[in-house]
Amino acid sequence: MADGNGKNQQAQSSSSSASTAAADEQREATGMSPALARTADDFNRAHGELKAEAAAMAAECGVDVHVIAFLPGGDAATKHTFLGIPPDATVAAEEAKRNQAVAKAAKDKAKLMAFVGKDVSKMTMEEAKTHREKLMNLRANVIRKLQQKVAPATSIAGGGGDDEDEDGHRNKISKIGSSLAS
């Protein structure tokens, strides 16, 4: 192999052996054996891939991802946390949720006031009677629902027929019910 290709192959093998020798010298200077250094290189490469995938998953799914990787030999570990939603976005989302709840409560209150809070002074006598009947029906429905909720609780507690609780106070539901009868 006296042609030009033989010289190139010989030059390539000598340069690769020179780079391997340089890497071996560097590892020996740091106190690592070549096998351990290759293991550390493999770990660093795999750990980099794992961190990249974890960061991508956190961003894509919007969840926090924690990565714990044990170093070769198992003597130590590294931990990385990738936040899926930035804290500012979390605070903004919670504030938006609160604002929606407040707006819904205001809307519900306005609906109730439109139904219940009519200006009676501007009504005729017939309109006032009809309005009072609607309010009494609404009140009776509320009392019935409250009594349905309380009935299972009193049967479990083994309460007697009296309308007083353990402190001697009368039950508010019975007060409302008795005022309807009058």
pLDDT of residue 10: 41
User: What secondary structure, in 3-state letters, does 95-134 show?
Assistant: HHHHHHHHHHHHHHHHHHHHHHCCCHHHCCHHHHHHHHHH
d(CA 105, CA 111): 10
pLDDT average per 10 residues of sequence, the chain (182 residues): 43 45 55 66 85 87 85 81 76 85 88 73 86 88 89 64 58 59 52
**Element at 150 (helix H, strand E):** helix 125-157
Q: How many CA atoms lie within 13 A of 53 on its CB side?
A: 7
pLDDT of residue 140: 92
pLDDT of residue 12: 40
pLDDT of residue 9: 40
Sequence-ordered list of residues with C-beta below 8 angstroms from that of 131, at least 6 positions apart, any chain: 118, 120, 123
Handedness of CA 40, 46, 49, 55 (dihedral sign): negative
Residue 17's Cβ-count burial label (10 Å; 0-12, 13-18, 19+) is: exposed
pLDDT of residue 176: 59
Sequence-ordered list of residues with C-beta below 8 angstroms from that of 116, at least 6 positions apart, any chain: 135, 138
